[in-house]
Amino acid sequence: MFNTRRRIKELLISDNVNFQTTVMGWVRTFRNNQFIALNDGSTNNNLQVVVELGSLEEATLKRITTGACIKAVGEIIPSLGKGQKVEMKATSIEILGDSDAEKFPLQPKKHSLEFLREIAHLRFRTNTFGAVFRVRHALAFAIHEFFNKKGFVYLHTPIVTASDAEGAGEMFRVTTLPLDGTAPKNDDGSINFKEDFFGRSTNLTVSGQLEGELAAMAFSDIYTFGPTFRAENSNTTRHLAEFWMIEPEMAFYDLEDNMNLAEAFIKHIIKYAMDNNREDLEFLAQRLEEEEKQKPQNERSEMGLMEKLEFVVNNDFERLTYTEAIDILKESNHNKKKKFQYPIEKWGTDLQSEHERYLVEKHFKKPVILTNYPKEIKAFYMRQNDDGTTVAAMDILAPGIGEIVGGSQREERLEKLTQRMEEMHIPTEELDWYLDTRRFGACPHAGFGLGFERIVQFVTGMGNIRDVIPFPRYPKSASF
């Protein structure tokens, strides 16, 4: 058996000393031919492994370089140096994998996030990305824990679909047909997808919601947690072409029930990370504070990361309607002084992220849930309100991010739903299976989608969504 190692995190927090053990990890630094700072990814804190002078051959010493992988056996003893409780007095060091110090791109110094994005395959070995991805893991775990405790069924919805769940036409096509012009054609010259792998035109899913609704009509409460794909050409710090989404769907829920669940859910997962990943969050808070110092005073956020998370967990989200939000925006000095790139002129316009952020960061200074949007700017499946102009939608907006959740009560009335689909040119024949839920035992139901990377951004304070997913996909980029 090879793996007899102990995790560094465990050794560092324990009060146990004076015992023999084995550690394995990657060398961060090696000082004075004596002190190895060893990291195994369990924590940002390194274990100091002390090599007794003269105990190792010159040739081995030379191979202990930044980035090299080693196995160290020795005694855990109280540390004399400051900064750590314990250290290892090594009795043997084995090089598992060499790393050419001249060529290893990660030097023991500060690298820019842009540079690290180019070497995303190695950036896990930095403190920042170590912390970010451990927090990402914790949030994913907390999500499953939250729904599991409530009796929700985790549903795996398909990645390849023939439908456009959002009706926005932002899909990546999936095909095995040749792209060299020899694909089979119909009489009118269009591609004959009957000859394609699935016998029809297919794409990567933009959302698991529609399939989720079908399952909610049997299990009552389900959630999905999987990758979704959008071919929108958005080069922003909040958009990815491949992102992960959590989509709960609940039978017997109205819009208010939906908002209550979403708010409790967000608070729970943030709290989980604060309770279980405090060290990583404190590191990220420090990182953010330094980054903020580079900004002009008036652009700095008023709260530090920990303070912000604490605040969100302990305060009610502000709830208001789209109409109320438009009034606030229209009357704002910001709007009157023409400071919005897209001025708010009339009811009915879609909110841009500058408007969302104004509401959240300047006006309310807390997360906001906006409800009852004009039906024209929302998806076909949202429940139509009695006023004939709005739908029972809800978006949750977070400071620094903007929209993190989009959801709604669903239109469960078959006639209203098909009528809306026709108005919006959504093909009802193709979605006949979806409409069956309205034919056989329909019930009031609701759900929402949380953009996983956006909540990871919020919790870690990372400014760019490309830095909270291991290998980001965005326009003109699909490396690794």
Among the residue ranges 29-37, 184-192, 242-250, 291-299, the one whose residues contact ligand 4AD (CB under 6 A): 242-250
Q: Which does 38 bind (CB under 5 to 8 A by kind): ligand 4AD, Mg ion, none?
A: none
Between 221 and 247, whose beta carbon lies closer to ligand 4AD? 247
Distance (Å) of CA 236 to CA 250, 306, 464 = 32, 25, 8
d(CA 191, CA 201): 9
Among the residue ranges 36-44, 194-202, 264-272, 398-406, the one whose residues contact ligand 4AD (CB under 6 A): 398-406
d(CA 40, CA 28): 10
Binding residue for ligand 4AD (CB under 6 A) from 25, 74, 399, 407?
407
Between 74 and 406, whose beta carbon lies closer to Mg ion? 406
Hey, what are 478's tokens? 């699909």
Q: Which does 164 bind (CB under 5 to 8 A by kind): ligand 4AD, Mg ion, none?
A: none
Are 418 and 430 in contact by the 8 Å Cβ rule? The answer is no
Between 249 and 361, whose beta carbon lies closer to ligand 4AD? 249
Between 76 and 245, whose beta carbon lies closer to ligand 4AD? 245
| Cβ neighbours of residue 460 closer than 8 Å, sequence gap 6 or more | 131, 132, 135, 136, 281, 284, 305, 468
Among the residue ranges 191-199, 272-280, 365-373, 401-409, the one whose residues contact ligand 4AD (CB under 6 A): 401-409
Least Cα distance to 192 among 207, 204, 178 occurs for 178
CB of 232 to Mg ion, least distance (A): 11
Hey, what are 309's tokens? 């998370």
Q: Which does 283 bind (CB under 5 to 8 A by kind): ligand 4AD, Mg ion, none?
A: none
Residues 164-183 that bind ligand 4AD (CB under 6 A): 165-166
CA angle 286, 291, 294 (to 5 degrees): 135
Binding residue for ligand 4AD (CB under 6 A) from 87, 280, 403, 467?
403
CB of 403 to Mg ion, least distance (A): 6
Q: Is 220 left (phi over 0), alpha (psi -120 to 50) or beta?
A: left
Are 228 and 205 in contact by the 8 Å Cβ rule? The answer is yes
Contact positions toward Mg ion, by CB under 5 A?
A: 406
Among the residue ranges 13-21, 241-249, 264-272, 361-369, the one whose residues contact ligand 4AD (CB under 6 A): 241-249
Residues 208-227 that bind ligand 4AD (CB under 6 A): 209
Binding residue for ligand 4AD (CB under 6 A) from 240, 269, 359, 391?
240
Least Cα distance to 227 among 206, 198, 256 occurs for 206
Least Cα distance to 474 among 242, 227, 170 occurs for 242
Residue 49 in the binding site for ligand 4AD (CB under 6 A):
no
| CB-side neighbour CA atoms (13 Å) of 15 | 0
Binding residue for ligand 4AD (CB under 6 A) from 88, 174, 215, 245?
245
Between 226 and 406, whose beta carbon lies closer to Mg ion? 406
Draw the binding track, 415-454, toward ligand 4AD (x: CB under 6 A; -: no contact). Answer: --------------------------------xxx-x-xx
CA angle 376, 238, 245 (to 5 degrees): 75
Find tokens 């100091």 and name the residue.
Answer: 48
Pairing of strands 19-31, 318-321: unpaired
CB of 453 to ligand 4AD, least distance (A): 5
Q: Is 303 helix (H, G, I), strand (E, B) or coil?
A: coil
Binding residue for ligand 4AD (CB under 6 A) from 204, 369, 405, 426?
405
How many CB atoms sit inside 10 A of residue 423's CB? 11
| Cβ neighbours of residue 418 closer than 8 Å, sequence gap 6 or more | 428, 435
Q: Which does 404 bind (CB under 5 to 8 A by kind): ligand 4AD, Mg ion, none?
A: ligand 4AD
The site that binds ligand 4AD (CB under 6 A) totals a number of residues, namely 23
φ, ψ at 367 (rounded to 5°): -60, 145
Which residues would be at the binding site for ligand 4AD (CB under 6 A)?
A: 165-166, 207, 209, 230, 232, 239-240, 243, 245, 247, 403-408, 447-449, 451, 453-454
